[in-house]
């Protein structure tokens, strides 16, 4: 089964790189968003299985965006991503209702699938 995903990040460069990487590993990217409002609209329209949401989304709070996505699209599982490691983000992530966390440096189709399959809560 193909994993239909939305990537939310304020960096167009990261969005393009993550799309290429994940699509090459069998993850279908149904949309990308650079803002919370755009992500919420796309999630409602596209009903992705997964939303990868940057914790630091420009001037927006990625955790708040993740929470809003979960409220408006409860069928979409949210994974938080960041350039920082889990240890540095522990306090913020532990209060989130996202299914897990992946550092951007460890982002891969296998890491996302493992996290969603419950093999781990996060990848360091």
What is the DSSP pairing of strand 50-54 with strand 77-82? parallel
**pLDDT 10s digits, 47-94:** 999 999 999 898 999 999 999 999 999 999 999 999 887 776 677 777
Task: Give the span between the Cα atoms of 68 and 87, in whole angstroms.
Answer: 24
All structural domains of the chain, each given as residue ranges with its CATH number in brackets, are: 3-107 (3.40.50.2300)
| Residue 35: band (very low, low, confident or very high) from pLDDT cuts 50, 70, 90 | very high
Residues 112-117, mean pLDDT to the nearest whole number? 91
Q: Where are the alpha helices (DSSP H) in 47-108?
A: 62-72, 86-94
State yes or no: pLDDT of 110 exceeds 60. Answer: yes
What's the confidence (pLDDT) of residue 17?
Answer: 97
* Range of lowest pLDDT (9-18, 23-32, 90-99): 90-99
């Amino acid at each position: 089964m193909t994993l239909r995903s939305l990537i939310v990040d304020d960096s167009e460069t990261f969005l393009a790189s993550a799309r290429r990487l994940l699509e090459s590993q069998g993850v279908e990217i149904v949309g990308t968003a650079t803002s919370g409002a755009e992500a919420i609209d796309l999630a409602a329209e596209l009903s992705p299985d997964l939303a990868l949401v940057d914790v630091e989304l420009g001037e927006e709070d990625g955790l708040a965006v993740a929470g809003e996505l979960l409220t408006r699209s409860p069928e979409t599982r949210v994974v938080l991503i960041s350039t920082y490691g889990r240890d540095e983000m522990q306090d913020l992530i532990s209060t989130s209702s996202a299914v897990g966390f992946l550092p951007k440096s460890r982002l891969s189709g296998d890491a996302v699938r493992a996290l969603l399959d419950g093999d781990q809560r996060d990848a360091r």
